[in-house]
Structure 1
Amino acid sequence: MSANNKVLDWFRNVALIEGISMVVLVTFSVLKRTTDFEWATLGVKYVGWAHGILFIAYVYLLWMCVAKYKWKFGRAVVFFLASLIPFAPFFVERKLRHEEQS
């Protein structure tokens, strides 16, 4: 991790974790509504909290990247919208990783 890309590295990592938390949250939500598993309700509650914190971190780090790396408005909007769509944060992380390797 280079010092110049520290914020970008954090954003990329949070995008990955936030994407995972969304998939886990949706899974618990489906289980809560389709089964009698009591632990599914707890899963929704606690994974929901974690996902909320990760979402806030994602948006904050996105804002930091826009400011630091002078990203265009359109890119910021696409990356923000990706945080609202299941599996889309994985594409954000992958795109940033490929850009960094280029």
Structure 2
Amino acid sequence: MDLKTAAALRRLRLISVPEAVSFLILLLCSVLKRTTEFDAVRPMGMIHGALFILYVIFWADAWNRTKWPKKTAALYFVLSVLPAGGFFAERKLKREAENAVIASRARNEGIVNA
């Protein structure tokens, strides 16, 4: 895995958790708006919207660089629109990055001919 691909995966991984947290907070704000006088849906919606747009941009970049199959790319996109899905995406991306580093080190040491 080259550095640009690794950086694309890292960016996607790093944005996935804040995007998931903002989604959960937005859902909480929606409930509070309907049950109390507290109304923070508009500002939280803008924050979540910006984070979601960043996630989609980083997702597209990662898909382009990694050449994921459509099924894998769709999984990461679906995780972005599910509440708490970003937490699962982050965990899966972290595992994928660690496996890529291990494979790269093995190739560099001549353990695996890949």
Q: What's the TM-score bracket when you normalise by the shorter of the two chains?
A: 0.7 to 0.9
Question: 2:7 is matched with which residue?
Answer: 6
Q: Which runs of 5+ in 2 are unaligned?
A: 100-114
Distance 1:55 1:30 in 2: 20
Counterpart AA for 2:72: R
Secondary structure of 2:20's counterpart equals helix
In the TM superposition, what is the alpha-carbon distance from 1:34 to its structure 2 partner? 0.8
Question: 1:36 is matched with which residue?
Answer: 37
Aligned with residue 91 of structure 1, among 88, 92, 107: 88
Contact 2:9–2:97 at 8 Å: present in 1 too?
A: no
Q: Which runs of 5+ in 1 are unaligned?
A: none
1:70 aligns with 2:71: no
Deviating beyond 4 angstroms after TM superposition, the runs of 4 or more aligned structure 1 residues are: none
In the TM superposition, what is the alpha-carbon distance from 1:69 to its structure 2 partner? 0.9
Distance 2:19 2:33 in 1: 21
Distance 1:99 1:74 in 2: 15
What TM-score, normalized to structure 1? 0.88
Between the aligned residues of both structures, percent identity stands at 36
Question: 1:51 is matched with which residue?
Answer: 48
Question: 1:27 is matched with which residue?
Answer: 28
What TM-score, normalized to structure 2? 0.79
Distance 2:30 2:37 in 1: 12
Give me the CA root mean square deviation: 1.4
In the TM superposition, what is the alpha-carbon distance from 1:78 to its structure 2 partner? 1.1
Number of aligned residues: 97
Question: 2:16 is matched with which residue?
Answer: 15
